[in-house]
């Protein structure tokens, strides 16, 4: 059994004047959401054998917030291919994961993360997949499980989406209307 977790970066600031999209930081709501997700990881006792993240500023700051909320380091490695990656590129990274790892957390961007869920889970496979189809909000954590022995065996429509937790599910103040 192999398990992939996907975490989309938290809400970034469009008000901060940066030259490159890559350098956009989180806004205050994004920092709160990242810490909230970290507390969720702590409360659910979720741990990852391998964490691979985009090196974009908003992802690094998301990881900082998650780690603060979780009260522990995640030990992320960074791979520039994740920045704005397509689902096939993300799947290549999954296939390259160390054989001994059972759980993998990818931290990155949309639409790649959302598209990876659509690639790896069967169409019409449940309520959670329908929620992804509606929207994959910032700072949302998804989990897919695969009944395979090796990461290289993960293939299209072979997974089951077992978790889709949005910040607003954990704290309604982090919802779209802020209530």
DSSP per position, 26-40: B-HHHHHHHHHHHHH
Q: What is the pLDDT along the chain (179 residues), one digit of tens a residue?
A: 999 999 999 999 877 778 899 999 999 999 999 999 999 999 999 999 999 999 999 999 999 999 999 999 999 999 999 999 999 999 999 999 999 999 999 999 999 999 999 999 999 889 999 999 999 999 999 999 999 999 999 999 999 999 999 999 999 999 886 54
Q: What is the pLDDT of residue 179?
A: 47
Q: What is the pLDDT of residue 73?
A: 98
Q: What domains are there in the chain, each with its CATH number? A: 2-174 (3.40.50.1240)
Q: What are phi and psi of 163, to 5 degrees?
A: -155, 140
Q: What is the pTM of this model?
A: 0.96
CA 89 centroid distance within chain: 15
For residues 124 and 127, what is the distance between their CA atoms, to the nearest angstrom? 8
26, 65 in Cβ contact below 8 A? Answer: yes
């Amino acid at each position: 059994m192999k398990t992939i977790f996907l975490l989309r970066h938290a809400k970034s600031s469009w008000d901060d004047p940066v030259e490159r999209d890559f350098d956009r930081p989180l806004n205050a709501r994004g920092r709160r959401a990242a810490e909230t997700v970290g507390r969720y990881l702590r409360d659910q006792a979720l741990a990852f054998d391998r964490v691979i993240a985009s090196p974009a500023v908003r992802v690094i700051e998301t990881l900082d917030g998650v780690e603060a909320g979780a009260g522990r380091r995640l030990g992320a490695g960074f791979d520039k291919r994740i920045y704005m990656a397509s689902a096939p590129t993300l799947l290549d990274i999954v296939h390259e994961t160390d054989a001994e790892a059972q759980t993998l957390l990818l931290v990155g961007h949309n639409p790649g993360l959302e598209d990876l869920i659509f690639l790896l889970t069967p169409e019409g496979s449940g309520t959670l997949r329908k929620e992804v189809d509606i929207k994959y909000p910032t700072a949302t954590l998804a989990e897919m499980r695969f009944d395979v022995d090796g990461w290289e065996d993960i293939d299209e429509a072979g997974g089951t989406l077992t978790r889709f937790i949005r910040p607003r599910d954990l704290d309604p103040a982090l919802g779209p209307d802020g209530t």
